[in-house]
Structure 1
Amino acid sequence: MSAIAQPKLPDFSKQLFDIHEQIKEQSLTKRRFKHKDIVPLIEKLPFSVEKIGKSFEERDIYQIKMGSGKIKVLLWSQMHGDEATATMALFDIFNFFQGKNDGFDALRSKILENCTLYYVPMLNPDGAERFQRRTATDIDMNRDALSFQTPEGRILKKLQDDLKPDFSFNLHDKNTKYSAGASGKQATISFLPTSYNYAKEWNPARTRAMQVICGMHQTLQQFIPGHLGRWNDDHEPRAFGDNIAKWGSSLILIESGGYKEDTEKQFIRKLNFVAILTGLQAIAEQSYTKFELKTYEAIPNNDRYLFDLLIRNAQFVQNGKTIIKDIGINLSEKNINNATDFVFSSVIEDLGDLSIFWGIKEIDAKGLTVSLLKEYPEVLQKYKVSEKEIQNQEINLDETASFLLTKDKEVKYIILNGQIK
């Protein structure tokens, strides 16, 4: 790749962050949108739009192309059907590239003159229809880069073969309970320059991906300090990211995790918007070359030190004796209404000394006693909990987290299905 001897542009990241609300795609505000919701948006785009294949259930898979530069960049999202955060951000980016006379013309020109961008905003539309990770054939297409058992996987392989992209952005979501290292902060965004062999070696292509990531990490630190992580780089020989890196592209993995009170990931969508555009700017002007491996290695690893709700120092009365325990509670989403909405399901994940962990939400229950719902009929009536729901209720591991925290028979906290009422 030849050097681009052109002046560097200023850092636009703060301005991009500030204008996101005005240019974001307003029709996509919930993660469980479907293929039919994005097709009209794609078909009205003023860029090159191409149907590049069909899913197992015959839904069209689209590629959007823009720019005319020598550096080829391939970006794809939602290869896992329930990982939609970056898909929303891509439509925001499409809106951004349609703008003009707003202070960003130089940035758009720099990127589009030096790069040709190829986007696949929804690679697994059948999975999106069910809001599930896997394809309609129950295959994880991100473990299909060797056998190519899925039509979606074959489409991605053909793109790679035809385009031979210099850079690739592999856009995902991850469990919201990952922490940034051993801390109480959620790993809201995590990065990885994917390894192409078991030895995790650093060839020039992987090094370039790492350098671009360092720039994106530096950018996001100003908005979410301490909430950034480094994804595990153990080599997975069946994964597309690992193989595309092996086939010569600088593969940048972005994983969108959680952020407090951002259930639909609208704030995290904004972070993706800013990170991807600043990454593209760095690629267009090759400003990423200043970063070193030690900068990347200083990013904390993803870890598992979080519960959705952590209750500390709760009193349990068993056999007439008082025992102090912490309660670690986790939530999971269960699809309803044909996967257009969801409800939470809770579980008591751990009990005992949880002092080395944190909660996304926490209660210090010192001096409070864990009590059963059935002992407080007024609570059952207020929250419309039937006696049948709680007739066999226990407060044990692997049970639903519904109980009260009381002091001298007075209710201090109501926990229903893992949520504080």
Structure 2
Amino acid sequence: MDLRTLYSKHKQEDLFGRYIPPEKIEPLLLHYKSKFEIEVIGTSEEGKKIHSIKLGSGDFKIFMWSQMHGNESTTTKALFDFINYLKSDTEEAKIILDKFSIKIIPMLNPDGAERYTRENANKIDLNRDAQNRSQLEIRALFKVFDDFKPNLCLNLHDQRSIFSAGKKNKSAIISFLSPSADENKTITPARQLSMQLIANMAIKLDKQITEHIGRYDDEFNLNCVGDTFQSMEVPTILIEAGHFPEDYQRENTREYIFHSLLYLFNSINLTKDSLPEVSAYFSIPENKKLFYDILIKNVKISNKIESLDVAIQYEEQLVNKKIVFIPKIVRIEDLNGFYGHKTFDALGEKIQINNDESLKIGMRVNELLIGEKKISF
């Protein structure tokens, strides 16, 4: 069975879109209780339960967590798709469960998930709390880490639509990172293994999303969870779900996260010598912030200056339990070398936004006219 068919068969259909609050995953946990071990590992700062799912009985232990940032839900959806696959009676799923012990925290930050915010209820970025461990959510994560003693960690996130895969006009659909273990970015044995595993995933994914795979910045920050675990000589991989063209609900990206997980589990069975060289990891293009959601080129701003470019970015807002994408002007200048997920050329003419030719940074775009043409988003 090919991967696309496999994904379609096991996709958790009732998880859809960007807003995945705790109320959407709790019924799923009850559904899995008959086959897998469900445990409450702690509570959020507002008292919401944080759950883990234990799957498999093998010697190699993998620890995975998602929605450390509450508004980063794509990998949570993909995790449930992957759990559905492991719940199936296929021979391949049985082999994985026999070879691996897997511990998953599908939603580390339920307060942030409910609010659709990056931070938790105390406005703390949990991925900057690895040293202080001031928040209940991070203490729960580290307790699982200490008790489970994983051989590999997967730190699962979303990244904004601003990121490109290198300097080309290619959005970063998926980005990977082998976090640094120290300020010198030393390639320790743990970091080397995570690099090789990432390279293997990237090589296979590139056949599906060619040139849309990025490598995230590896600047060392011990306050980050991945850097901390890597410094403790536990191989750690960060996966960032990014922007597939016109896929603001991240449903296409979700599928490729699912594929990545399958590639990863298959590659762990390989010997180090049969995995790609570390150089293959560094050949993955580094993320750049080169994209805007909408880019209007060659706009006449006034009679006194040459034409400039207008960049519009969506601001995500939670309204009635749905995410609304609000377009706002973020830059008015020469943006040569930048790209738009949608690009228009004003050909040196003025444009009207909300029936107004005076453009300002921060302006909300309700209606856009380029000449006589009305532009829909």
> Which band: TM-score by shorter chain?
over 0.9
Alignment of 1:35-50 (within 5 A): 35-45=22-32, 46-50=35-39
Which residue identity does 1:40 align to in structure 2?
P
CA deviation after TM superposition for structure 1 residue 271, in Å: 0.5
- The answer to whether 1:84 aligns with 2:69 is no
Report the equivalent of 1:333. Answer: 316
| Cα gap change, 1:404 to 1:23, in 2 (>3 Å) | same
Normalising by structure 1, we get a TM-score of 0.85
| Cα gap change, 1:288 to 1:307, in 2 (>3 Å) | farther
Alignment of 1:66-215 (within 5 A): 66-101=55-90, 105=91, 107-215=92-200
Return 88-97 or 288-297, whichever deviates more: 288-297
Which residue identity does 1:331 align to in structure 2?
Y
- The superposition leaves residues 278-326 of structure 1 with CA deviations (integer Å, 9 ceiling, x where unpaired) of 10121134478421111111111000111111112223443xx674222
Name which of 365, 377, 396 aligns with 2:346.
365
Which residue identity does 1:328 align to in structure 2?
A
**Contact 1:110-1:284 at 8 Å conserved across structures:** no
Alignment of 1:6-405 (within 5 A): 15-45=2-32, 46-101=35-90, 105=91, 107-286=92-271, 289-318=274-303, 323-337=306-320, 340-366=321-347, 368-371=349-352, 373-374=354-355, 394-401=358-365, 402-405=367-370
CA deviation after TM superposition for structure 1 residue 405, in Å: 1.4
Q: What is the number of equivalent residue pairs in this alignment? A: 374
In the alignment, structure 1 segments of 5+ residues that lack a partner are 1-11, 375-389, 415-419
| C-alpha separation in 1, matches of 2:354 and 2:50 | 50
In the alignment, structure 2 segments of 5+ residues that lack a partner are none
| C-alpha separation in 1, matches of 2:180 and 2:274 | 19
Report the equivalent of 1:6. Answer: none
**Contact 2:62-2:150 at 8 Å conserved across structures:** yes
Normalising by structure 2, we get a TM-score of 0.94
CA deviation after TM superposition for structure 1 residue 367, in Å: 5.3
**Contact 2:86-2:94 at 8 Å conserved across structures:** no
**Contact 2:200-2:275 at 8 Å conserved across structures:** no
**Contact 1:208-1:289 at 8 Å conserved across structures:** no
CA RMSD of aligned residues (A): 1.8
| C-alpha separation in 2, matches of 1:20 and 1:325 | 44
**Contact 1:160-1:244 at 8 Å conserved across structures:** no
**Contact 2:172-2:213 at 8 Å conserved across structures:** yes
Which residue identity does 2:140 align to in structure 1?
I
CA deviation after TM superposition for structure 1 residue 182, in Å: 0.8
| C-alpha separation in 1, matches of 2:107 and 2:352 | 47
| Cα gap change, 1:218 to 1:18, in 2 (>3 Å) | farther
Which residue identity does 1:90 align to in structure 2?
L
| Cα gap change, 1:370 to 1:206, in 2 (>3 Å) | same
CA deviation after TM superposition for structure 1 residue 354, in Å: 1.8
**Contact 2:296-2:310 at 8 Å conserved across structures:** yes
> After TM superposition, what 4+ stretches of structure 1 lie above 6 angstroms from structure 2?
none
| C-alpha separation in 1, matches of 2:224 and 2:183 | 13
Query: Tell me, what secondary structure is at the counterpart of 2:4?
Result: helix
Q: In percent, how many aligned pairs have the same letter? A: 35
